[in-house]
Amino acid sequence: MLTAKGDGVQIYTCTDAPAGTKWVLKGPEAKLLDAAGQVVGTHFAGPTWKLNDGGQVQGELMANKPAPEAGSIPWLLLRAKAGTASGSLAAVGYIRRTETHGGVALGSGCQTATDVGKTTQVPYTATYTFYAEK
């Protein structure tokens, strides 16, 4: 149905966990670009994709695969969350994230209890492909 490039940041919060402090994904904040580089929508926590025409869909993780490039977020296959697809994205059944570059939080900056609550934004790009439910 649609292929768009995501260009933005992955936002992490430093959290206290049983094994120590670690970066936990809060969500993405990215622009969706068409093949000509024009902004056609946004991608944000949920995970949610919203197009400029109002079409929207949320995804639920089905599968993931490590990215071939070190320091890059995994490739994902998501199913459209029931009842969330609307407008021009109403027919979306699946969303795939591939060709990721960057986006992984480094260990630095989240090492002690005094770091808890800090946030970091890590630049990334990815290809998002939207498939219709058959």
Compare 17 and 39 and report the one with higher pLDDT. Answer: 39
Checking if the pLDDT of 51 tops 80, the result is: yes
Check residue 112 and give its pLDDT.
87
Give residue 129's pLDDT band: very low, low, confident or very high (50, 70, 90).
very high
Q: Average per-residue pLDDT in the chain?
A: 95
- Give the residue-averaged pLDDT of 101-108: 91
Angle at 55 between CA 78 and CA 67, to 5 degrees: 30
Question: What whole-number distance in Å separates Cα of residue 108 and Cα of residue 111?
Answer: 7
Give residue 121's pLDDT band: very low, low, confident or very high (50, 70, 90).
very high
CB 23 within 8 A of CB 119: no
Residue 31: give the domain boundaries.
Answer: 2-132
CB 100 within 8 A of CB 76: no
CB 8 within 8 A of CB 29: yes
Angle at 18 between CA 59 and CA 28, to 5 degrees: 25
- Give the residue-averaged pLDDT of 97-102: 98
> What's the pLDDT tens digit per position in 52-90?
999 999 999 999 999 999 999 999 999 999 999 999 999
In total, how many domains does the chain have?
1
Note if the pTM is more than 0.75.
yes
The backbone torsions φ and ψ at residue 40, rounded to the nearest 5 degrees and listed phi first, read -115, -5
E-only strand ranges, the chain: 2-17, 20-33, 39-44, 48-51, 56-65, 75-80, 92-102, 119-132
